[in-house]
Amino acid sequence: MFTKKSSGNGDETEQPEAEVRTPRTSTPRPAEDLLARRPRADIPRRPTGISPIEPQRQPSRRDDDSKLLVGDGITLKGEVTNCAELIVEGSVDARVEATRFAVSKTGTFSGECNVEEADIAGHFDGVLNCRGKLVVRSTGSLKGTLRYGDVEIEGGGRIAGEIQVYSDADAARPAAQPELKAAGE
């Protein structure tokens, strides 16, 4: 810990030994190190075909792009509008306006659904207005008020409730709205 220091005239005094510390600041590396760490030209550093100055393509707002998947184990409650395709694998309690509608084997739907095409392989309970083709799979069950343009029921598929064929006259006529009353009437 202490070292002897001679002062040249024969005196020796004890002084504390200085600890050698390396600075914690970053120091430039020698040029050889930097050259060795340079990226190789044969390894691409960004995906090919994408220029860093080109803006990314914004998704379009076409009907084909508006798809909603409610996955297995997910519950959705509310209202879905302007949807091109709704696929239910979980549980949905909602009012739906869509072009295509599908309930998978694991899916359950309750509420009102106004669609062009429907494919039911799970459970449906409520009001279904299907202007086009309604397909009921062998594992599917529907209960409630059903209106359809065309229907296909596989062996084992079940339908119960009020059933009507959707006609062209029904399409021209707006759906009946319930009469609203003010509070206290």
Domain locations along the chain: 63-167
Three-state SS annotation for 155-184:
CCCEEEEEEEECCHHHHHCCCCCCCCCCCC
User: For position 167, what pLDDT does the model report?
Assistant: 72
pLDDT of residue 40: 64
Token representation of residue 98: 């869509």
Is the Cβ–Cβ distance between 95 and 77 less than 8 Å? no
From first to last of the 185 residues of the chain, give the pLDDT tens digit: 555 555 556 555 555 555 666 556 565 555 555 556 666 666 666 655 555 544 444 545 554 578 999 998 999 999 998 899 999 999 999 999 999 999 999 999 999 999 999 999 999 999 999 999 999 999 999 999 999 999 999 999 999 999 998 776 555 444 544 454 555 55
**Is 33 exposed, middle or buried, given 0-12, 13-18 or 19+ CB atoms closer than 10 A?**
exposed
Q: What does pTM read for this prediction?
A: 0.57
Where do the DSSP E strands lie in 1-140? 2-6, 12-16, 67-70, 75-88, 91-103, 108-115, 117-120, 123-136
pLDDT of residue 66: 84
| Backbone dihedral angles phi then psi of residue 59, each to the nearest 5 degrees | -65, 140
